[in-house]
Amino acid sequence: MTRIYIADAKSEERSALRLLLIDLNMEVVGEAADWYTTLTQVPLSRADILLVDWDLLPIEPGAAIGELRMVCPAALVIVLISHLDARQQAALSAGADAFISKGETPERVSERLRAVAASVIKKMTPSG
């Protein structure tokens, strides 16, 4: 089962993601509403995927994603963005593995999460 950590300041968005992940048979191993909690809990969570809201990142997103990779090097980082604009490229340039727009339909978010989870499974297999 793919293990997911959710970092988003808005409790209603964390709740919606949690329900979606449960429907996808993924395990939510932790949640945070702020950056400090995220950095302290992520290493203990043993998450495969980190879902992190762009607006939760400190001023320098590249450094923030670098911090996540230092404390949880094996996890893939997916940045959640509110507005499709230069942020999508900025998220990838900052070192994220992927991004998901919060404006996507639940079906599209599910599709993207399944694709990332498949890449996690492939990475974990000896031939992957």
Nearest-angstrom CA–CA distance, 47 and 76: 9
pLDDT at 115: 84
Nearest-angstrom CA–CA distance, 10 and 114: 23
- 25 bridge partner residues: none
66 — alpha (psi -120 to 50), left (phi > 0) or beta? alpha
24's CB contacts (< 8 A; 6+ apart) are 110, 113, 114, 117
DSSP letter for each residue of 84-110: -SHHHHHHHHTT-SEEEETTS-HHHHH
pLDDT at 19: 92
**Which residues span the domain enclosing 42?**
3-124
Q: What is the mean pLDDT of each run of 10 residues along the chain (128 residues)?
A: 93 93 93 95 94 86 87 90 62 72 84 81 58
What's the pTM? 0.83
Nearest-angstrom CA–CA distance, 59 and 50: 19
Q: At what angle do helices 106-124 and 11-23 cross, to 10 degrees?
A: 60
The domain tally of the chain equals 1
Q: Give me the CATH number covering residue 61.
A: 3.40.50.2300
Question: Quick one: how many helices (H) and strands (E) in the chain?
Answer: 5, 5
pLDDT at 92: 62
pLDDT at 42: 95
pLDDT at 1: 85
At 60, list the tokens.
Answer: 């320098």
